[in-house]
Structure 1
């Protein structure tokens, strides 16, 4: 039985649910893991996660379909990305089957908090992997904690599928090309806080980051990936760079744009001074889903897309993606995993 919440008013805010998953890595292996209650963890003050940022995380969602069933969207890709992040920070990977089973356990245990079909809300899951134990030197931890917690959420950007204004972060870089930009680690997000706060103070949805070498090419849109539609509405374009997070939503949209909409879809460098080549643009990610970009301000110049309104291709992509996630449209093989 679903709990009584005002689902339509949910934002992207933390909520303490009854259960989470926890597993420990010691002596070269992960234990079986288990569901636990409570939203606190106790770790050594000398844990490398606290001092040296040896931690990584993921974000994925559970969706309730019209029939009342619950399903996950491409959790295997989250497992693979967490494993890649772990490798970059010299942490042990969580086996893919353990990752997916743990996600299913958390959703099943908290199923009363999976929002009803038709509300637009979802159950957001946050897997977290951290280095723990007494280890004050700059070196990998000897023990690790993997946990998954969940909360029902609405739209990440206020208003949801509403065109949002963004501004270029002139004096900030999110990540270096040979740093941890392609890993989902906390340090990348800590580096974005100041630019994001300044953007919000100026009335923008978030900051857009340019490449750290030349400051000529679009990298990421704050906490999401960037995409654009060319003026002839024949190409779906998203940035290619060694320092941006490989978004599962972005790669899903690349495939859907090509297979379902018949567009040429490509990853390529996107110059900030070539925005006039595009009729539509958007931010995409698990949390953001798709947020249309109304305009991008770069210094004294502001470029507006589609007169500030959501474009037709963006609308179609949103319908395809969310239709698959909520079970209303057929999904490519392997994209959906049921929660029994």
Structure 2
């Protein structure tokens, strides 16, 4: 593979590394970041790794006014066996980012060169990969429209960046079950919109509902379809799965649900284990009935940030459904242990999901 020519400016000040036992999600950032610019006339150029710091944009930049931006999220892990840095299915993230770019009329990135840029960034900031159990280095590639123009049209200029953040658990509950509020008033996305793209507007549209959930003591919102308001779609930061009478069911991708990479991996893992699993429409009425009949055995969310998050309670129209006595289910725990074991090198990877960054990239002991 051709190596991407990247200019490197080392940070003169090395920030203190945080205590890995006290990490919270998305609050701490490493010493460097990757940046590249795009101009319609010359394409991508000026690939560089520079100190992590604020940067200037014109107040008329299109991203501020029309929300032309996409992002991704993946993680780097320190192998528990040899300390080497591992990525989990990174090519899937770059593929999905380009699919989001296509929906937002933004330029494609060369997926292999983008991964090479990430490799080079990790080489410089490798000491930031935490080694404590349950920690990782969160990777945020994103693209913004930078042309100064107040007309409603796709930008002719863009900036692609990658920043890194050492993280602990996404939820304060960790692997312990969370409580979810089913949303009935607000709509996140509909088929034909941008629900299956990873773009900022989808998350901004979810903030009001999340505020209400927070006030009522719930960790997340479960979104229903935007037309009939009866079919389950996804949780704010996760895809969702239900184990009903021995069968695992998850909403089918329908144009308004994000195609989660962890979701895809869980489906492949369940089928590898010969666990019955189906992708289809599933209504809240069906879930409520299954709960009343004692057949709703487990509920769990899947996503890069949380990996597997068991759900102990669903609140739909004031009806509180307690799942598995509010405890982590056997399948949820097995999926979490297996996936994190593969990611960190504790378990064998029979699928070829893990990419070792480079032979010379190791964390300090």
Mapped to 2, the partners of 1:45 and 1:32 lie a distance apart of 22
- 1:5 is matched with 18
**Is structure 2 residue 77 aligned with structure 1 residue 59?**
no
**Is structure 2 residue 270 aligned with structure 1 residue 257?**
yes
Mapped to 2, the partners of 1:272 and 1:336 lie a distance apart of 36
Mapped to 2, the partners of 1:16 and 1:256 lie a distance apart of 32
**Is structure 2 residue 79 aligned with structure 1 residue 79?**
no
Mapped to 2, the partners of 1:47 and 1:222 lie a distance apart of 28
1:334 Cα deviation after fit: 3.7
- 2:282 is matched with 270
TM-score normalised over the length of structure 1: 0.95
Mapped to 2, the partners of 1:332 and 1:30 lie a distance apart of 36
**1:281 maps to which of 299, 304, 309:** 299
TM-score normalised over the length of structure 2: 0.89
Mapped to 2, the partners of 1:197 and 1:217 lie a distance apart of 22
1:304 Cα deviation after fit: 1.4
- 1:70 is matched with 85
Q: SS at the partner of 2:165? A: strand
Mapped to 2, the partners of 1:16 and 1:296 lie a distance apart of 34
8 Å contact 1:63–1:70 — kept in the other structure? yes
Residue deviations 1:264-308, cap 9 Å, x none? 222111111122243101111001111100010101211111111
Mapped to 2, the partners of 1:119 and 1:322 lie a distance apart of 10
**Is structure 2 residue 327 aligned with structure 1 residue 313?**
no
Mapped to 2, the partners of 1:7 and 1:78 lie a distance apart of 26
Mapped to 2, the partners of 1:254 and 1:175 lie a distance apart of 23
- 2:204 is matched with 190
1:221 Cα deviation after fit: 1.1
- 2:259 is matched with 246
Q: SS at the partner of 1:249? A: helix
8 Å contact 2:29–2:166 — kept in the other structure? no
Residue deviations 1:17-73, cap 9 Å, x none? 211000111124112612111321222222111110100000000000111111100
1:331 Cα deviation after fit: 1.7
Mapped to 2, the partners of 1:213 and 1:253 lie a distance apart of 28
1:5 Cα deviation after fit: 3.0
- 2:122 is matched with 107
**2:189 maps to which of 160, 168, 175:** 175
- Aligned residue runs from structure 1 range 128-277, under 5 A: 128-231=142-245, 233=246, 235-240=247-252, 241-259=254-272, 261-275=273-287, 276=290, 277=295
Runs of 5+ unmatched residues, structure 2: 1-14, 359-365
**Is structure 2 residue 133 aligned with structure 1 residue 119?**
yes
**2:317 maps to which of 282, 299, 304:** 299
Q: SS at the partner of 2:268? A: helix
**Is structure 2 residue 67 aligned with structure 1 residue 30?**
no
- 2:112 is matched with 97
Mapped to 1, the partners of 2:42 and 2:233 lie a distance apart of 37
1:143 Cα deviation after fit: 0.7
Mapped to 2, the partners of 1:3 and 1:280 lie a distance apart of 41
8 Å contact 1:3–1:113 — kept in the other structure? no
Compute the RMSD of aligned alpha carbons. Answer: 1.5
Q: SS at the partner of 1:273? A: helix
Mapped to 1, the partners of 2:243 and 2:121 lie a distance apart of 37
Mapped to 2, the partners of 1:183 and 1:7 lie a distance apart of 32
Q: Which has the larger radius of gyration?
A: 2
8 Å contact 1:20–1:37 — kept in the other structure? yes
Q: SS at the partner of 1:98? A: helix
Residue deviations 1:173-207, cap 9 Å, x none? 11121100000000000000010011011001111
Mapped to 2, the partners of 1:301 and 1:28 lie a distance apart of 57
